[in-house]
Structure formats: structure tokens, C-alpha cells
């Protein structure tokens, strides 16, 4: 059975392994400095970023980082899923769906009426099959400016 729960200080090594693998998937090599800064954010109350992990048989098999923000179109709080990663050995077992559903539960309990959003790479077809089951695909195009 897989348990979905908030990240804890004792999860550092398991989280680090998953987050490094997530970076590799997106062709990003996280430095030790980045890993340390992100881990500190995840554990600091009020940082604006929260994290859930999926635990199975005493080890971590998935992670999700998320945050909320005011929405100017509705006046509600919206939610954003920044990062979602499931260990390849655990894929196909409902871990990603469980993580997304838990964030949606947290959001509904905290500030109903908003929307949970996320993006993925255009070629991440396996993830898109999951996302198409649990969410509505939008027509928005994403842009970014490096600062």
C-alpha cells in the first residue's frame, strides 16, 4: 500500500534521490546548492511551497511540490503543482494520481473554489495519459523570461 503524506525531515535522502531523478528526466542537473535551498524551502513553514511524498514499503516512491496563490480572475485561491515525480519502478500503480488527488483534497479543504494547475513537457506522453484522466487539458501556451 502507498501512503501519501507531507514531507518530513527524515525524508531527506529519499527525497533527494527522487528529485535528482526528476531533474535528470528534464535534463537538469541540480547542484548541491539548489538541492539544499529547495529542501530548506520545503521544510520551512510559511515558505509558500509545500511537499507531499508517496511512501511504499518504507521507502519513498514519489514526490509532489505545490503552492497556492490568489487568483485575479475569481478572487479565490488557486493552486499550482510545481513538480511531480514517481520512481519508474512504481509507475502504473496510481501513485501520481494519488498525489494529485491529495493536493486537490488539501486545496478544497483550505480554500474551495479555486483551480489546481500544472504544466508538463509536450513530449511527456506517459504523464499526459494520467493527467488526461484526472484533469482537463487547457489550450494555454506557456512563456518564460529568465531572470
| pLDDT 10s digits, 54-63 | 999 999 999 9
pLDDT value of position 130: 96
The C-alpha atoms of residue 58 and residue 37 are separated, in whole angstroms, by 25
Q: Domains (ranges, CATH) in the chain?
A: 4-134 (3.40.630.30)
| pLDDT 10s digits, 27-76 | 999 999 999 999 999 999 999 999 999 999 999 999 999 999 999 999 99
Which residue blocks in the chain are alpha helix, DSSP H?
Answer: 12-25, 32-43, 95-110, 125-134
Distances (CA, A) of 130 to 68, 95, 97: 22, 10, 7
| pLDDT 10s digits, 103-134 | 999 999 998 889 999 999 999 999 999 999 99
The C-alpha atoms of residue 78 and residue 62 are separated, in whole angstroms, by 23
The DSSP letter of residue 76 is S
The DSSP letter of residue 44 is S
CA 49 to centroid of chain Cα atoms? 10
Q: Is the pLDDT of residue 85 over 90?
A: yes
Please count the other Cβ atoms lying within 10 Å of the Cβ belonging to residue 65: 22
What mean pLDDT value characterizes the chain?
Answer: 96
Amino acid at each position: 500500500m502507498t501512503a501519501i503524506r507531507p514531507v518530513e525531515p527524515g525524508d531527506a535522502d529519499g527525497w533527494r534521490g527522487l528529485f535528482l531523478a526528476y531533474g535528470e528526466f528534464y535534463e537538469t542537473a541540480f547542484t548541491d546548492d539548489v538541492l539544499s535551498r529547495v529542501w530548506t524551502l520545503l521544510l520551512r513553514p510559511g515558505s509558500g511551497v509545500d511537499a507531499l511524498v508517496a511512501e511504499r514499503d518504507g521507502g519513498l516512491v514519489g514526490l509532489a511540490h505545490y503552492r497556492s496563490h490568489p487568483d485575479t480572475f475569481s478572487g479565490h485561491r488557486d493552486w499550482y503543482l510545481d513538480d511531480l515525480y514517481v520512481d519508474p519502478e512504481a509507475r502504473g500503480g496510481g501513485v501520481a494520481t494519488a498525489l494529485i488527488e491529495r493536493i486537490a483534497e488539501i486545496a478544497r479543504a483550505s480554500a474551495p473554489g479555486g483551480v489546481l494547475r500544472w504544466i508538463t513537457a509536450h513530449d511527456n506522453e506517459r504523464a499526459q495519459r494520467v493527467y488526461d484522466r484526472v484533469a482537463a487539458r487547457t489550450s494555454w501556451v506557456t512563456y518564460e523570461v529568465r531572470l
